[in-house]
Amino acid sequence: MASELYRPVGDLMRKVARDVVMPRFRNLRAEDISEKAANDFVTVADKESEERLAEGLAKLLPEAGMIGEEACAADPAILARAGEGLNWIIDPIDGTGNYAAGKSPFALMIALADGGSTLAGWIYDPVLDRMCHATLGAGAMIDDERIMAKESDGPLPVAALAVSFVPPEEREQITRNAAGRFDIVAIPRCAGEQYPRIALGANDVSIFSRTLPWDHAAGTLFLNEAGGRSARMDGSDYRIGDPGFGLLGASSPRMWDFARAILYA
C-alpha cells in the first residue's frame, strides 16, 4: 500500500507547493504571519497548505485519520490520538520561521503511520524541487534515485546540535563534550533539511530536542532506510505517539554510537 502511494502523494505535495506555498514565498504581509508561541510562527500559507494536503490525502486513503500540525495547534486532543491506528501526519511547511523571513530551507512533510510505526514518509523541498521518500523496509530515495547514507570526509565529524529546548545543565554538558571532537555547524532550523543533510554526508550528527511527529516521522524513517540511524538517546526506536524527549540522528550506526558516547559521557 505505502509504495503504491509514492507518486500520488508526491504529486499532491508538488501541486500544493506550486499553488499555495511558493506564490506566497517572500510575498507575505505582516498580517499573514502570527505566533502560536514565542518564536513559533504560523502563516496563512501553512494553514491553507495543510487544508489542501489533508483534502488530497483523504481522497487517496479515506480510511486514514489526519494528524496535522495546525489542526493539533487548534485542538491538542488530536495529537493524543497520533499513535492510534492508521494516520496521515502532515507538516504543511516545516521551517516556517525561515519561510516567514523569506529565506530557505523549508519543506512540506508527510508521513503515513500505523499505530506507532511509520510506514512511509515524504519530504519535499520546493525551492530545490527535491523529493526525499522512504518506505518501511524498502529503502530511501531522492527523487527516483535510491540513496545510501554516507559520512562526511572532513577531519572531524560534522554536527548540527539543536539544543535550545534542552535543559540548561544538559545543554552545557553537550556543548562542552562536543568541543574539539566535532566540527559544529549551524542548524538549518528545518528538520526537512536536516535529515537529508545527514543522509547526503553534509552533516554526520544532529540532536533534536522536541520530537513532534510532523517534524520527525518522515525524516527518521528516511534516514534509517538510507542506512543511517535516528533513535532516542537510549537507543530505542522513535515511535509515533511516544511522549519521549530527544532524538539523535547520525550518518551511520557507527557514527551514532560514537556521538552518543561523546555527547552524553
* Strand order across the beta sheet in which 130-135 lies: 65-68, 86-94, 107-114, 117-125, 130-135, 139-142, 145-147
Torsion sign across C-alpha atoms 57, 58, 60, 66? positive
Q: Is it true that the peptide bond before 168 is cis, omega within 30 degrees of 0?
A: no
Question: Among candidates 3, 6, 109, 97, which has minimal Cα distance to 53?
Answer: 109
C-alpha cell at 220: 527518521
CB contact at 8 A, 21 and 45 = yes
The terminus-to-terminus CA distance of the chain in angstroms comes to 43
Residue 215 in marked binding region: yes
Residue 144 in marked binding region: no
Residue 69 in marked binding region: yes
Measure the CA angle with vertex 124, ends 123 and 127; round to 5°: 145
252 vs 198: CA distance, rounded Å:
9
Torsion sign across C-alpha atoms 43, 47, 52, 53? positive
Residue 262 in marked binding region: no
Question: Among candidates 210, 168, 196, 193, which has minimal Cα distance to 40?
Answer: 210
Residue 170 in marked binding region: no
Q: Point out the annotated binding site for Mg(2+).
A: 69, 91, 93-94, 215
| Binding-site annotation, residues | 69, 91, 93-94, 215
